[in-house]
Amino acid sequence: MNPDQLRGNLDLILLSVLDKEALYGFRIIQEAKVRSEGYFDFKEGSLYPALHRLTQDGLLGTEEREIGRNGKPRKYYFLTERGREALSRKRAEWREFKGALDGLTE
């Protein structure tokens, strides 16, 4: 995986992973890895700053739920209405970009 490609698409990836359900950090990492057939294998050091930024931007909300193995509640992340709107825009932008790139490379 090229880190530059990840940086340019991290928001789309994270918003897409959280589209169906709220998840906590480690489950977000697992879900991205499974859904991308192992291509996206995030490290916690890159995931949490992005989640924090998306939360600060109002695209994600958080809530504490079940207790984790460490005895602390897990913070679950979910899309806000603004996050759903942003995901829709980012998906449209991605389709447009992909179509233009496909036209150049095929």
Mapped onto helix, strand or coil, the DSSP state of residue 105 is helix
Are 82 and 90 within 8 A, CB to CB?
A: no
Residue 1 has pLDDT above 80, yes or no: no
Q: How far apart are CA 31 and CA 79, in angstroms?
A: 15
Q: What is the pLDDT of residue 83?
A: 98
Residue 16 has pLDDT above 90, yes or no: yes
Report the CATH number at residue 41. 1.10.10.10
Q: Residue 74 has what DSSP assignment?
A: E
Nearest to 40 by CA among 29, 51, 48, 50: 29
Q: What is the pLDDT of residue 4?
A: 62
Domain of residue 41 covers 3-105
The model's pTM: 0.87
How many domains does the chain divide into? 1
Mean of the per-residue pLDDT values for the chain? 90
Q: What is the pLDDT of residues 76-102, one digit of tens each?
A: 999 999 999 999 999 999 999 889 988
Share of the chain above pLDDT 70, in %: 92
Determine the length of the chain.
Answer: 106
Radius of gyration in angstroms for the set of CA atoms belonging to the chain, rounded to a whole number:
15
